[in-house]
Each structure stands twice: as structure tokens, then as C-alpha cells.
Homo-oligomer: A and B are copies of this chain.
Amino acid sequence: MERTDTKERLLGATLKLISTRGYLGATTREIAREAGVSELTLFRHFRSKERLFEEVLNTYTFLPRLRELLPELEGLPCDEALMSIGTGFLETLKERKSMVRIMFSEMNTYPEKVRRVHKRFIDETILTLANYFRALQDRGRLRKFPHTTGARAFLGMVFSYFQTEEIVKGRNINKKEMQRTVGEFTDIFLRGVK
């Protein structure tokens, strides 16, 4: 009974290694070494690599915070509310970068498992935002437009920005840059470019 955090260390090491080297590229030997335990311990806790991976997905699944965020935006003007939604979304993505990486890398290895995570996060976020837009339309704060497509559009801008900069280029989007870019996205989304 030497350690109590063995399982957590293994899960963390697996998340790290699979997100950087891919499922096939991350070996159980290396995961164990990264966690500071023997390979045998890995197999004693999780019976196979696949089960280990599954537990990683379950452990680090993330849910959108948008729903909790919305009530706080009640009184705000549209631009400030959207700005807040955009930066909140981007911050969640940054926090869960490893999981986002895995989501799009292991789509082929384990399609159903990964799709579940995607559905829980992306689809849910689009839906929530779309409903929010509809509410704003009903109150006359926004003009009529297809609210689901609108949600897709806004989140798509932010997500693609995250994907190209943080994931593909490996850059870190700092607070200042984030504020600026999301601000510009918001402005375009609200006012249009014409």
C-alpha cells in the first residue's frame, strides 16, 4: 500500500502520451515509466491498453460550461455577452487541449468512443447557444436568422482559431491576443462586414 495515487498518475500519463504520440504510438512501457510505476502495475490496474484508454476518456470528458455561463449574461448587452461566450469556450478548449487533440486524432482508432465525447461537448454547445440566440431573437435583441447555423458559425470561428493556432501550430494563445481576436469575431458576427 505504498501509493494511493497510482491510478490517477497512470491516467494522467496516458492522457499525455496518447495526446502527443497517438494511441498506437503510446506504448504501455512508456506510459508506465511516465507515471513512475512498473508496466505490470499498469496491467494490474487496467486490464488492457484499450480499457485504460476508455477510462481516460471517461475520466477527462468535459462538458460545456456554456449553460452555467448564460444566466450571468442576462443583463449584459449582446456584444459583451457574446464576447464572454467566445472567451469562455476558448478557455475550456485550452484547458482540455489534450482531450481535444485525442478527439480529432483517434477518430479512426475508436470512432464510437471518441464520437461520444465530441457529441457531449460540441453538439451540446451548439444546441445551447442556438437556444440562447432564439431567446434573444424573441426579445428582439437580435434580428431573425437561422439560430442553429448562427451558433455553428460563431463557435466555428472560435474553434477553428483554436485548432489552427494551438493544435496545429503548437502556439499558446495568450489572454491579450485572445481578447482581441474574439472581440473582432464578435464584432463581425454582430455587425457583418458589409
Number of copies: 2
* Interchain CB contact (< 8 A) of A160 among B150, B160, B168, B189: B160
* Interchain CB contact (< 8 A) of A106 among B105, B143, B145, B164: B105
A190: chain B residues at CB < 8 Å are 192-194
Across the interface, do B104 and A187 meet the contact criterion of CB distance under 8 Å? no
Across the interface, do A143 and B184 meet the contact criterion of CB distance under 8 Å? no
**Complex Cα spacing A158 to B122, Å:** 15
A36 part of interface (Cβ distance < 8 Å): no
Nearest-CB residue, chain B, relative to A104: B105
Interface string of A41-58 (1 = CB under 8 A from B): 000000000000000000
Nearest-CB residue, chain B, relative to A118: B168
Across the interface, do B105 and A107 meet the contact criterion of CB distance under 8 Å? yes
A115 part of interface (Cβ distance < 8 Å): yes
A87 part of interface (Cβ distance < 8 Å): no
Please judge, given known A-B contacts A156-B156, A189-B188, A192-B189, whether A22 and B24 are in contact too, CB under 8 Å. Answer: yes
Q: 8 tightest A-B contacts by CB?
A: A156-B160, A192-B192, A24-B24, A191-B192, A149-B184, A156-B157, A153-B157, A190-B194
Give chain A's interface residues, CB within 8 Å of chain B: 19-22, 24-25, 78, 101, 104-109, 111, 115, 118-119, 122, 133, 142-143, 145-146, 149-150, 152-153, 155-161, 163-164, 167-170, 181, 184-185, 187-194
